[in-house]
Amino acid sequence: MADNARAKRLADLIREVVAQKLQRGIKDPRLGSHVTITDTRVTGDLREATVFYTVYGDDEERAAASAGLESAKGILRSEVGKAAGVKFTPTLTFVMDALPDTARNIEDLLDKARQSDEKVREASAGAAYAGEADPYRKPDEDEDEAGAGAAGADETDDTAK
């Protein structure tokens, strides 16, 4: 079992080698400059590597890039093997990175929340309190009421005698 630092170094190397080979070495038109390698993860035994990528474009270009990466998998693995110099070259699995779609979804939700906040701010611009401005009792008011109540209780006790 390899340590995590070695797996991290190998993952970084795989990411660099695959990105460079996609940019300069592979002539597949489906893998143009719109494919970006975002992350790479290697299992603890260094046997399998998952390469995350994004594609700038529509769904058709994403599907074409996915097919292009699958067809170039052998070439990319051999380049990783040459650069890594390990006993067993990890198998490569390409996965579309969901990070850009998730970020876009979060931005849309934040925009909706901002619009909702703006509507509430506009509605409350001329509003006034339903009751008093400060509905809480102050300590001074509590002492005055308690002192008056205690004095009244003493008077009723004196008259009962």
pLDDT at 42: 92
Q: What is the pLDDT of residue 87?
A: 86
Res 144: pLDDT: 60
Instruction: Specify the pTM.
Output: 0.63
CA 71 and chain centroid, separation: 31
* pLDDT tens-place values along the chain, 161 residues long: 557 888 899 999 999 999 888 888 788 777 776 788 889 999 988 889 999 998 887 888 888 888 888 888 888 898 898 888 888 989 999 998 877 778 888 999 999 999 999 998 888 887 777 777 777 877 776 566 665 555 555 555 555 54
pLDDT of res. 49: 92
C-beta separation of 42 from 5 below 8 A: no
Tell the residue number behind the tokens 């097919």, with chain if given: 67
Q: Are 56 and 36 in contact (CB under 8 A)?
A: yes
21: CB partners within 8 A, 6+ apart: 75, 76, 79
Q: What is the pLDDT of residue 116?
A: 92
Strand ranges inside the chain, DSSP E: 35-42, 48-55, 91-96
